[in-house]
Amino acid sequence: MLTKTKIYLSSPHMGGTEQKYVAQAFETNWIAPLGPNVNGFEDDIKTYLGNNSHVAALSSGTAAIHLALQLLDVSQGDEVLCQSFTFSASANPIIYQGATPVFIDSEAETWNMSPELLEIAIKDRIEKHKKPKAIIAVHLYGMPYKAREINAIARKYEIPIIEDSAEALGSTYFNQACGTLSDLGILSFNGNKIITTSGGGALITKNESLKKKAVFLSTQARDNAPHYEHSSIGFNYRMSNVLAGIGRGQMEVLDDRVSARRANYNFYKENLSKYKTIEFLDEPDGFYSNRWITCIKTKSYGLREEIRISLGKEDIETRPLWKPMHMQPIFKDYLHFTNGTSEALFEKGLCLPSGSNLTQQDLIRITDLISKTPNL
């Protein structure tokens, strides 16, 4: 029987002021998908990101990607190039639009989209008269992708980028905030992210008119009329004023949350890097990761499973690295340009507990157990 406190992979961590903003929503009866907290949360994110950003607070990061595809006029028959090594929410909205995903594998330095494979894919699709309509690149686990290279390729072929920063709030690329590096940025605030609104997300753009159009589409595309008038298909994607209140309190502790997760990574690396069978993902020069999740790559599937199972027996949650989209049953028949990188990471990689609320004793407990793995 399990008796010790369960350690989660990444659990919510409240700062204490969230209840103040939620209480204000109740006191003023702003219990709706609009209101002062929504506006304030958007302003808080805008100030944090800088770089002339405009922010639309939405019901989820998935909704933000869906609206981004709408804003780029992606539709039936179009192709969208999408990072394969990601969570399915990056790719699902492509299907919502009736478009076709084409999956691109990763490079080994950041585990994100390979610029080399991206250009190979673009050339292939253009040769076949199917120029991609958009690119979805992902800052996986908080590590920035190679934005200079990816952006240069996108500009060369005039293809817009949707920057999936769902896991990367607080990360920077050469001192520029992730989420502001491309045409449209995406944030997520669900329960396991670095800050949470329980469920929620945001769309980031440097174009205020695009922000306004996103908000319009997210509120059922109601035209300006005294009655309900609709000339476009809209969605129920606007963030609740109550949940935005949680977000306002969370923004006040975001820098502390980044520091705590980076400290987790440093602790794991200091205590486990002596084992030649475990590798960590270091930051290239100019890259600053929020270390949302600390990940390791082991020497084999067998060792990965030994560690995962032994920790699970002690009520410590871990998870294999994300299964690439081109290996998923729902996407396995779609075109993909791969080099084996993400497949190897899925086979040998493990996500370690990374919450900002982990104690020193929690971290010691985890690393001590890993150190006892027989074949380490």
Q: pLDDT by residue for the chain (376 residues), tens digit each?
A: 445 789 999 999 999 999 999 999 999 999 999 999 999 999 999 999 998 999 999 999 999 999 999 999 999 999 999 999 999 999 999 999 999 999 999 999 999 999 999 999 999 999 999 999 999 999 999 999 999 999 999 999 999 999 999 999 999 999 999 999 999 999 999 999 999 999 999 999 999 999 999 999 999 999 999 999 999 999 999 999 999 999 999 999 999 999 999 999 999 999 999 999 999 999 999 999 999 999 999 999 999 999 999 999 999 999 999 999 999 999 999 999 999 999 999 999 999 999 999 999 999 999 999 999 998 9
Both 299 and 198 in one domain: the answer is no
* Cα 34 to Cα 218: distance, rounded to the nearest angstrom: 11
pLDDT value at residue 82? 98
Give the CA-trace dihedral at 157, 160, 165, 170, to 10 degrees. 80
Q: Does 376 fall in a domain?
A: no
Quote the tokens at residue 363: 């971290």
> Which class for 255: exposed (0-12), middle (13-18), buried (19 or more C-beta within 10 A)?
exposed
pLDDT value at residue 197? 97
pLDDT value at residue 1? 41
Both 104 and 134 in one domain: the answer is yes
Give the CA-trace dihedral at 240, 241, 242, 243, to 10 degrees. 50
Q: How far is CA 288 from the centre of its chain?
A: 15
> Scanning the structure block, which residue is given the tokens 């040769």?
127
pLDDT value at residue 51? 87
* Residue 297, strand partner residues: 279, 349
Both 109 and 226 in one domain: the answer is yes
Both 275 and 155 in one domain: the answer is no
User: Could you give the number of structural domains in the chain?
Assistant: 2
pLDDT value at residue 217? 97
Q: Does 4 fall in a domain?
A: no
pLDDT value at residue 306? 98
* E strand map for 176-257: 176-177, 184-188, 201-205
Q: Does 74 fall in a domain?
A: yes
Both 193 and 275 in one domain: the answer is no
Both 234 and 88 in one domain: the answer is yes
Looking at 206, 233, 251, the residue that finishes a domain is 251
Q: Does 238 fall in a domain?
A: yes
Q: Which residues make Cβ contacts (< 8 Å) with residue 372, sequence separation at least 6?
A: 310
Looking at 222, 251, 280, the residue that finishes a domain is 251
* Cα 236 to Cα 124: distance, rounded to the nearest angstrom: 37
Structural domain for 242, as ranges: 18-251
Backbone angles phi, psi at 67, to 5 degrees: -65, -35
Q: Does 2 fall in a domain?
A: no
Pairing state between β 100-104 and 336-337: parallel
Backbone angles phi, psi at 58, to 5 degrees: -130, 180
* Cα 178 to Cα 165: distance, rounded to the nearest angstrom: 6
Both 233 and 341 in one domain: the answer is no
pLDDT value at residue 268? 98
Q: Does 6 fall in a domain?
A: no
* Cα 306 to Cα 21: distance, rounded to the nearest angstrom: 45
Both 207 and 259 in one domain: the answer is no
Pairing state between β 184-188 and 176-177: unpaired
DSSP codes of every residue in 27-71: HTT--SS-SHHHHHHHHHHHHHH-TT-EEEEES-HHHHHHHHHHH
Q: Which residues make Cβ contacts (< 8 Å) with residue 173, sequence separation at least 6?
A: 144, 147, 181, 286, 287, 288
Both 75 and 195 in one domain: the answer is yes
pTM of the model: 0.97
pLDDT value at residue 117? 98
Both 307 and 323 in one domain: the answer is yes
Both 285 and 303 in one domain: the answer is yes
Exposure string for 16-38, b = 16+ CB within 10 A, e = fewer: ebbeebbebbeeeebeebbbbbb
Q: How far is CA 40 from the centre of its chain?
A: 22
Looking at 251, 280, 304, the residue that finishes a domain is 251
CATH code, domain with 259: 3.90.1150.10
Both 223 and 199 in one domain: the answer is yes
Q: Does 301 fall in a domain?
A: yes
* Cα 97 to Cα 76: distance, rounded to the nearest angstrom: 6
Q: Does 11 fall in a domain?
A: no
CATH code, domain with 229: 3.40.640.10
